């Protein structure tokens, strides 16, 4: 008997290669998954201008990157956009959508909800900018499983539904079902952090496993397998770091790292 429903992860039609350059923009969930890719030595840029919760702010990050250094976008092979909410805040004085209220009084802003079409248009513009810099870039959309208690739980669900519908209208991107895995597969509060809103570290690890099964190339999986013991060695806290035994241990570890760098030229500790 099966006691849980397994969410299917569709084949995106491409694979992520070892140590490739990547971009993660979006909610806190983008931070979590992006950090894991960095830990496994992919050259990941993660929310370079801070966490971005809505599609308009995701577009703002891509625009700022494009203006700051277009070569950055040209070197990217894969980008992940993680959508948290369709709620935006406009500064009353200028009418501009702000990405961060910077703890300024709420009275200075008006809160709005983007429509499905507006969400899709912002995302499409961001993807078009990336494709102008690199026509071969792969873009992955995902909806954050983190619920927004301040909207009310029904309001939070409506916000997620808007984002989910918007992802279906965007051309040139694949969809990874992080939201569905948390809500339909890991349907238990033991997979949440203490606030009962954010996924636990165990849940994030499981999502990483589901993502890596489908999205990573065989070469990337092999690289991670070879990197694991070296990562553990570098993270090891010796009882006596000045001992001869530890020096020998580290010398052997650095030799193995040098061998790995020869095999994977883009690998850097």
Which tens digits make up the pLDDT trace of 185-231? 988 888 878 888 878 899 999 999 999 999 999 999 999 999 999 99
With cut-offs at 50, 70 and 90, classify the pLDDT of residue 150: confident
The larger pLDDT score, comparing residue 87 to residue 192, is at 87
With cut-offs at 50, 70 and 90, classify the pLDDT of residue 70: confident
Q: What is the pLDDT of residue 4?
A: 79
With cut-offs at 50, 70 and 90, classify the pLDDT of residue 91: very high
Which tens digits make up the pLDDT trace of 245-257? 989 999 999 999 9
pTM of this structure:
0.93
The larger pLDDT score, comparing residue 144 to residue 150, is at 144
Per-residue pLDDT for 62 more than 90? yes
Q: Which residue has the tokens 């983008």?
A: 30
Beta carbons within 8 Å of 161's beta carbon, 6+ residues apart: none
- When the pLDDT of each residue in the chain is averaged and rounded to a whole number, the result is 93
Beta carbons within 8 Å of 228's beta carbon, 6+ residues apart: none
């Amino acid at each position: 008997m099966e006691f849980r429903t397994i969410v299917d992860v569709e084949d995106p039609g491409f694979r992520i290669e070892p140590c490739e350059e990547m971009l993660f923009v979006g909610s806190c969930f983008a931070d979590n998954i992006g950090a894991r890719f960095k830990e496994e030595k992919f050259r990941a840029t993660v929310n370079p201008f801070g966490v971005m919760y809505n599609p308009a702010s995701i577009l703002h990050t891509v625009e700022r990157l494009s203006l700051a250094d277009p070569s950055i976008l040209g070197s990217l092979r894969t980008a992940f956009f993680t959508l948290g909410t369709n709620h935006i805040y406009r500064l009353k004085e200028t009418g501009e959508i702000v990405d961060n209220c910077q703890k300024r009084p709420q009275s200075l802003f008006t809160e709005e909800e983007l429509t499905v079409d507006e969400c899709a248009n912002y995302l499409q513009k961001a993807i078009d900018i990336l494709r102008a810099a690199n026509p071969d870039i792969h873009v992955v959309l995902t909806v954050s499983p983190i619920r927004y208690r301040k909207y009310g739980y029904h309001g939070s669900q409506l916000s997620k539904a808007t984002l989910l519908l918007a992802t279906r209208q965007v051309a040139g991107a694949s969809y990874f079902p992080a939201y569905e895995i948390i809500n339909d597969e890991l349907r238990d509060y033991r997979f949440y952090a203490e606030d009962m809103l954010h996924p636990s570290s165990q849940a994030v690890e499981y999502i990483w496993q589901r993502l890596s099964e489908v999205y990573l190339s065989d070469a990337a999986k092999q690289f991670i397998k070879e990197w694991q013991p070296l990562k553990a060695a570098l993270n090891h806290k010796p009882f006596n770091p000045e001992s001869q035994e530890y020096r020998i241990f580290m010398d052997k570890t650095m030799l193995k790292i040098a061998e790995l760098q020869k095999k994977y030229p883009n690998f850097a500790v």
